[in-house]
């Protein structure tokens, strides 16, 4: 009996100790310094692509209330956006354990849907089943909110189930309580993907909202067969001039330039190397022998490389200066910019379009999606068939 009492007292002490050692909430410093306000700000930052600012807001919410579930949901999403899915899942589980009431439970279910859609196979082999399961939970709580339908649509899109995705986006539009612009944008992306009809090798690239320099190499090699085009239609040149061996040894004048040093571990290494060897303007290597394969491709770069391919295959060198001296037709371009002529060549031929049809902006420093790149490449391919 005595031993039982001792164990009971020890247990109580340990329990009290664990509570005292838990995270302490900081004091509120302003009227709007509340967990809910910071989470709201964090979600706004996420929509704007300001991931670090969003994380700061979610952490401020957590400091005020360490067990505020929506703060942990936000932190989990930020980790996933940073490709740290382990910590993303860890924070989502915390959010699940802290969730109180329907609103917070709904937030957690949506958080899980986003997490598994972003991580897909890296998170779970049957990741889409997970997304569908959390969708059902969310719908039970709030069947008239668009969030769960929108994110289920994203899951179906990532699984190439485009008709199912469009059905979910239609539900979002029918509900009409949010995500309307996002659903319309996703409809447009799916239409672009269906128009492009990509093969299985580039399906994943077609789904990307913005593609990298490495991605575009793979697209041009796979879809346009640009390496074969150049091999068959441009004469191979050989340098047979005399090279003084002593001069080569002493000065290094003819020493071969080092290979690109940042693509060795890239999964698309062979495509990137093949593309680099073609020497296409707009996507060259840098002075420090880097290619920067993970850097997002700009629309200006894309226009430049399409123009150079057209010139090299058609032999029409006048294309490079065709629009010099012309008045700009895009409000955000100047005729003296190095990529202006390329932008005009691509848009005048229907290979590219203005980024914003409403304002007519070309957005040269903006990114290009996988679907948009595929459509442009297919159009370029059609135009090159007669050469």
Q: Using one digit for the tens of pLDDT, what is the confidence trace for 99-155?
A: 999 999 999 999 999 999 998 888 888 999 999 999 999 999 999 999 999 999 999
Q: Which helix (DSSP H) or strand (DSSP E) does residue 9 occupy? A: helix 2-20
- Closest Cα partner for 27 from 52, 5, 4, 60? 60
Decide if pLDDT at 194 tops 90. Answer: no
Maximum CA extent, the chain: 102
How far apart are the C-alpha atoms of 26 and 92, rounded to whole Å? 22
How far apart are the C-alpha atoms of 58 and 10, rounded to whole Å? 37
DSSP 102-113: HHHHHHHHHHHH
| Overall average pLDDT of the 166-176 stretch | 95
The fold adopted by the segment(s) 23-196 is 1.25.40
pLDDT tens per residue, range 322-373 = 998 888 889 999 999 999 999 999 999 999 988 877 788 999 999 998 888 9
How far apart are the C-alpha atoms of 348 and 345, rounded to whole Å? 5
pTM comes to: 0.67
Local confidence band at 3 (pLDDT 50, 70, 90 cut-offs)? low
How far apart are the C-alpha atoms of 77 and 268, rounded to whole Å? 28
Residue 146: its pLDDT value, please? 96
Residue 232: its pLDDT value, please? 73
Decide if pLDDT at 26 tops 80. Answer: no
Among 39-43, 122-126, 208-212, 383-387, the range with the most confident prediction by mean pLDDT is 39-43
Local confidence band at 237 (pLDDT 50, 70, 90 cut-offs)? low
> What are 313's two structure tokens?
């295959």
Residue 20: its pLDDT value, please? 47
Q: How many CB atoms lie within 10 A of CB 2?
A: 6
For the chain, give every residue range classified as CATH 1.25.40.10.
Answer: 23-196
Residue 196: its pLDDT value, please? 66
Decide if pLDDT at 199 tops 70. Answer: no
pLDDT tens per residue, range 172-193 = 999 999 999 889 888 888 887 7
CB 280 within 8 Å of CB 309: yes
Local confidence band at 254 (pLDDT 50, 70, 90 cut-offs)? very low
pLDDT tens per residue, range 200-232 = 566 778 888 899 999 999 999 988 899 888 877
| Phi, then psi, of 42 in degrees rounded to 5 | -60, -40
């Amino acid at each position: 009996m005595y031993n039982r009492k001792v164990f009971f007292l020890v247990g109580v002490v340990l329990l009290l100790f664990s509570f005292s050692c838990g995270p302490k909430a900081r004091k509120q410093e302003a009227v709007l310094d509340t967990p809910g306000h910071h989470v709201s700000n964090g979600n706004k930052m996420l929509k704007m692509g300001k991931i670090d600012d969003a994380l700061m807001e979610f952490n401020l919410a957590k400091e005020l209330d360490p067990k505020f579930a929506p703060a942990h949901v936000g932190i989990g999403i930020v980790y996933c956006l940073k490709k740290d899915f382990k910590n993303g899942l860890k924070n989502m589980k915390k959010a699940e354990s802290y969730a109180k009431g329907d609103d917070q439970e709904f937030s957690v279910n949506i958080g899980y849907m986003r997490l598994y859609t972003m991580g897909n196979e890296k998170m779970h082999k049957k990741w889409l089943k997970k997304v569908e399961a959390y969708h059902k939970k969310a719908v039970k709580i709030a069947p008239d909110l668009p969030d769960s339908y929108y994110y289920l649509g994203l899951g179906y899109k990532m699984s190439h189930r485009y008709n199912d995705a469009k059905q979910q986006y239609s539900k979002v539009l029918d509900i009409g309580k949010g995500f309307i612009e996002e659903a319309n944008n996703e409809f447009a992306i799916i239409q672009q993907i269906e128009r492009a009809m990509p093969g299985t090798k580039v399906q994943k690239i077609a789904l990307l909202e913005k593609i990298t320099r490495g991605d575009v190499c793979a697209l041009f090699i796979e879809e346009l067969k640009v390496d074969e085009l150049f091999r068959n239609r441009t004469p191979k040149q050989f340098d047979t001039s005399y090279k003084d061996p002593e001069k080569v040894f002493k000065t290094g004048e003819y020493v071969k330039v080092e290979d690109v040093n940042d693509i060795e571990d890239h999964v698309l290494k062979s495509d990137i190397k093949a593309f680099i060897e073609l020497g296409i303007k707009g996507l060259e290597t840098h002075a420090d022998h880097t290619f920067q394969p993970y850097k997002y491709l700009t629309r200006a770069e894309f226009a430049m490389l399409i123009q150079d391919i057209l010139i090299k295959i058609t032999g029409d060198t006048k294309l490079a200066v065709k629009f010099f001296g012309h008045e700009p037709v895009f409000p955000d371009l100047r005729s003296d910019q190095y990529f202006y002529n390329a932008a005009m060549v691509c848009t005048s031929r229907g290979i590219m379009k203005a980024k914003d049809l409403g304002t007519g902006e070309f957005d040269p420093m903006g990114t290009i999606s996988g679907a948009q790149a595929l459509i442009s490449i297919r159009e370029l391919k059609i135009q090159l068939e007669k050469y």
